[in-house]
Amino acid sequence: MNPADLPIACELFAQWQGARGGRTDPASRPFSRSWEALLEDARLVSATERSEAERDARGLETDGWVELKSVRYKPHLIDRVIIPLGAEARWCQAFGFVPPSDEEARQIRDFPWEPELSFLRDARLNLPFAELQQLNMFLKDRSRERTVVPIKERSLQIFGNEKRLDILFPSALFRSGRLDLTRHLICELIGVPLAWKRGPAAAAQQPLIVIENAATWHSYCRWNKKRNLFSAVVYGDGNRFVDGIRYLKDIFAELGGTRRVLYFGDLDPQGLLIPQEASGRAQAASLPAVEPHLWSYRELLRVGEGRGQAWEGEPPSSTLCDWVGEFADPVRQLFAAGKRLAQEHLGWEFLQGQTRAE
């Protein structure tokens, strides 16, 4: 298992690097991070993403990369993730990180950096001088006008490694007022394209619906074939929907025009935050706002009554639930009780008996 391929491990190492990477003296205590805080920082918020992150973390523990501490009296829940002192060198090797030496620090201070990197003379960054030089060479070449490209293409051009910029992006190098991905490196993060299934011809003019998790997406696709409710059923894939919102334009083009965008996800704080963040980005891109599929949320509250799962986290803002309109108060009560409802309660066995979704 290579941690550099795992989103949760990339975030953990970026935070280790920020806290530890510049030390020349040995650390006396291992680096650790709250599991919930780590998930939030890595923007792994949907049920699917959290499940995958937990699977990856337990795999890393099995292979000796990390130690996991469980929540007291709840051994099935992760409380903290720890990078053992003895594993730090292995992590550095996996991510290609070599802490700068005293000589490199002097070179960084004295080097004639391009204006965009002039902050390096005074900043304390835990990055190798050679990599900073590669960035400087790219910025120094002003012989042609560049166009915005995906981050991995630019990373390969600069470093000869398509993943390097992804790893560096969370570091202090890109802190506010320093290097800017779009303005200086002329590249951008590219969201995962949205998987979707076209609805039946009889539903061609209907809204499309975005479903947060894979199992429910599959069941809604089956249901739509029978009920002709949606022009398309889109797989949101948790928080990836926020970054992939641009791909709605492609779906609309295939459908022959813009449609209303409905959404159905888990009833937990992150499940409500995803569509609201996506809606803001959609409107900024001149796309329709993301609306709740009220029938689905009503049925989830009804079917899930008394069946909520325990949810642990910070209390959501008082306005988060407003997005679900008439169901805002029941959802607030659900959260106040420390409960959540997985959208999978509306599975195929339930849906196949439903003839309406108004």
Q: What is the pLDDT of residue 25?
A: 57
Neighbours of 286 (CB within 10 A): 8
The CA distance from 156 to 64, in Å, is 30
SS3 65: coil
CB distance 47 to 58 below 8 Å: no
- Provide CB contacts within 8 A for 101, sequence distance 6+: none
Largest CA distance in the chain: 72
Measure the CA–CA gap between 322 and 325, rounded to whole angstroms.
5
Distance CA 83, CA 142 (A): 42
Residue 282 has φ and ψ, to the nearest 5°, of -60, -45
Residue among 35, 18, 211 nearest 97 (CA):
18
pLDDT confidence of residue 240: 86
Q: Which residue has the tokens 């639930």?
A: 321
- Distance from C-alpha of 49 to C-alpha of 34, rounded to nearest angstrom: 17
Strand order across the 74-83 sheet: 31-34, 74-83, 67-71
Residues pairing with 195 in the sheet: 235
2 and 60 Cβ atoms separated by less than 8 Å: no
CATH of 1-98, one of 3.40.50, 1.10.3470, 1.10.10, 3.30.420: 1.10.10
The full set of domain ranges for the chain reads 1-98, 100-190, 195-351
Q: What confidence score (pLDDT) does residue 83 get?
A: 94
DSSP 180-217: -TTTTT-EE--PPPPEEEEPPGGGTTSPEEEESSHHHH
pLDDT per residue rounded down to tens, the chain (358 residues) = 888 888 899 889 888 877 765 555 567 789 999 998 888 888 787 777 888 899 999 999 999 999 999 887 777 889 999 999 999 989 988 887 777 777 888 888 899 999 999 999 887 777 788 889 999 999 999 887 899 999 999 999 999 989 888 878 877 788 888 999 999 999 998 888 999 999 999 999 999 999 999 999 999 999 999 999 999 999 998 888 998 999 999 999 999 999 999 999 999 988 999 999 999 999 999 999 999 999 999 999 999 998 888 876 677 888 999 999 999 999 999 999 989 999 999 999 999 988 777 6
Angle at 202 between CA 196 and CA 203, to 5 degrees: 45
**For helices 47-62 and 7-20, what crossing angle results, to 10°?**
70
Q: What integer pLDDT is reported at residue 317 of this predicted model?
A: 86
Helix (H, G, I), strand (E, B) or coil at 358: coil
Query: Interior CA angle at 40 toward 39 and 42, to 5°?
Result: 65
* Residue 253: partners with Cβ closer than 8 Å, 6 or more residues away: none
What are the structure tokens assigned to 144, written together? Answer: 């042609």
In Å, what is the CA distance from 232 to each residue of 71, 198, 210, 214, 227?
41, 4, 8, 15, 12
Written as six digits, the tokens of 155 are: 């990373």
End-to-end CA distance of the chain: 47
**Integer angstrom CA distances of residue 4 from 9, 38, 123, 179:** 7, 16, 26, 23
Separation CA 187–CA 183 (nearest Å): 8
Residues 41, 34, 307, 209: what is their CA dihedral angle, to the nearest 10 degrees?
10
Query: How many other CB atoms sit within 10 Å of the CB of residue 308?
Result: 19
Surface-to-core class of residue 285, CB atoms within 10 Å of its CB (0-12 exposed, 13-18 middle, 19+ buried): exposed
- Which of 236, 238, 263, 260 has the alpha carbon at shortest distance from 247? 236
